[in-house]
Chains A and B, each alone.
Chain A
């Protein structure tokens, strides 16, 4: 158990819809990173939050947004979903020696 909790594990939704993915980092960890893993693009960094503030942005679409709340959990919001958004979405906590990942949310857009 990595200590990073992601919910839900699976999500099936239709094109054009909006979904919210949730991540709780390890106790005491201030940072949250979101990654997308798709078949064609591999693992890509989306966005980082640190203690409630956006710290870095990667290849995140404008239709996607995220936030980190005072209790340090984070939510990734995906809107106007397209078939190509189907992917595994991971969040991770940063520790001095690297990163630890949650078990991911499998998003399927139909």
Chain B
């Protein structure tokens, strides 16, 4: 069975600074995707970034980037130039896929990290 661990229950960062959220996972699967989801106070689950396990290049979406270390089963999220709107819960999630990248099962979530961006 797959597990996802987020070891930082809460973090804070000053506006415009950079912060890194940690995530480790355990799986024996070779084909999978990893995700970071953001849940602001509105409670909506918003996809931040996705990483395919077969890709060596780290994913980047504007101010958000990941450090994907497949051998170490580590998947951290870096937020650059933090903004007040980044205040939210951040969830790391794992999804098993087929050999062709199709979804194969449900998302497995970590417990989340509550990030506060301070002015």
Q: List chain A positions with a Cβ less than 8 A from chain B.
A: 2, 31, 33, 35, 42-43, 45, 48, 56, 58, 88, 90, 92, 94-101, 103-104, 106
Q: Which residues of B contact A33 (CB under 8 A)?
A: 106-107
A90 vs B105: C-alpha distance when bound (angstroms): 16
Q: Which residues of B contact A103 (CB under 8 A)?
A: 42-44
Contact B103 A101 (CB under 8 A): no
Given A97-B50, A98-B95, 10 further pairs, Cβ under 8 A:
A33-B107, A42-B112, A43-B112, A56-B105, A56-B106, A90-B45, A95-B103, A98-B35, A101-B44, A103-B43
Contact A106 B43 (CB under 8 A): yes
Q: Contacts A42-B112, A43-B91, A98-B95 given: A58-B106 contact, CB under 8 Å?
A: yes
A8 vs B90: C-alpha distance when bound (angstroms): 25
Question: How close is A36's CB to chain B, nearest CB, in angstroms?
Answer: 11
Contact A48 B95 (CB under 8 A): no
Flag whether B109 is at the interface (Cβ < 8 A): yes
A39 vs B68: C-alpha distance when bound (angstroms): 28
**B: contact size bracket:** 20 to 34
Contact A99 B107 (CB under 8 A): yes
A55 vs B15: C-alpha distance when bound (angstroms): 44
Task: Determine the residue in chain A with the shortest Cβ distance to B44.
Answer: A103
Task: Determine the residue in chain A with the shortest Cβ distance to B105.
Answer: A56
5 pairs of A and B residues whose beta carbons are closest in the complex: A101-B45, A45-B106, A43-B109, A94-B103, A42-B111
Contact A98 B47 (CB under 8 A): yes
A33 vs B106: C-alpha distance when bound (angstroms): 7
Residue among A35, A42, A92, A100 with the highest chain B CB neighbour number at 10 A: A42
Q: Which residues of A contact B112 (CB under 8 A)?
A: 42-43
